[in-house]
Amino acid sequence: MTTRSSPHPTPETASLLAPEDEARAGLYGLLANLLAAPPHPFLIASLAGADALHADPGIPEGLALSESWDALRSACQGADAERIGQEWHALFSSTGKPQVVMNGSWYLTGFLMEKPLAVLRDDLAALGLARRDNCTESEDHLAAVCDVMRVLVVDVRRPGDERLAAQRHFFDRHLRPWVAACCNALATANDADFYRSVGRFAAAYFALEGRALHIES
């Protein structure tokens, strides 16, 4: 959504990724797509027929991820893409302040386009990343930040330890401080139906990511 000159896995580079990193990149990409625009009917159908996620049931974050993934798959079964599109517009693109603000600056300062966005832009520049020319959302939109995390996961040009350190640094600096509040706002929004399940899944996924990135430190 927001990155320019970002690496995309090829058959050659994908083989260098561990299976869990392929899965992580896919889930970051999924969340970016669900939040950036109304989902395509093909995506809804793919989710409806997706396999279960077998996260570690021995930790609360793993159990929550499995259960929220099942709820998201169920929400896609027999879902009407047009109705979901209307819900997306009602939540995220209504006139004036949307029901659910998806920007980090809002949760950190109470305003849009504030200092956290400037800090994020500096970090993106250091990574060689920037917003696409045709993108209307700012870089601190959750969909955009998910897309950056996807890029950092698949960037096999970096050695493994360096790649993990970059993911941990970016997550701790630009997701951890506000993403739980954002996901909760989405999961409890008055007009959320399908997106309630998206918010709950996103919350569970980010909680597990925050734990896993530091377990491996």
User: How does pLDDT run across 131-185, given as a tens digit for each residue?
Assistant: 888 888 899 999 999 999 999 999 988 887 899 999 999 999 999 999 999 999 9
Residue 127 φ then ψ, to 5°: -85, -5
The predicted pLDDT at position 31 comes to 98
> d(Cα 33, Cα 138) in Å, to the nearest integer?
15
Give the Cα-Cα-Cα angle 78, 141, 34 (nearest 5 degrees): 15
The predicted pLDDT at position 56 comes to 77
The predicted pLDDT at position 8 comes to 54
The predicted pLDDT at position 16 comes to 78
pLDDT class of 201 with cuts at 50, 70, 90: very high
In the chain, the percentage of residues whose pLDDT exceeds 90 is 76
> d(Cα 215, Cα 178) in Å, to the nearest integer?
21
Task: Kindly report the pTM of this predicted structure.
Answer: 0.91
User: Residue 112 burial (CB < 10 Å; 0-12/13-18/19+)?
Assistant: middle
The predicted pLDDT at position 139 comes to 96
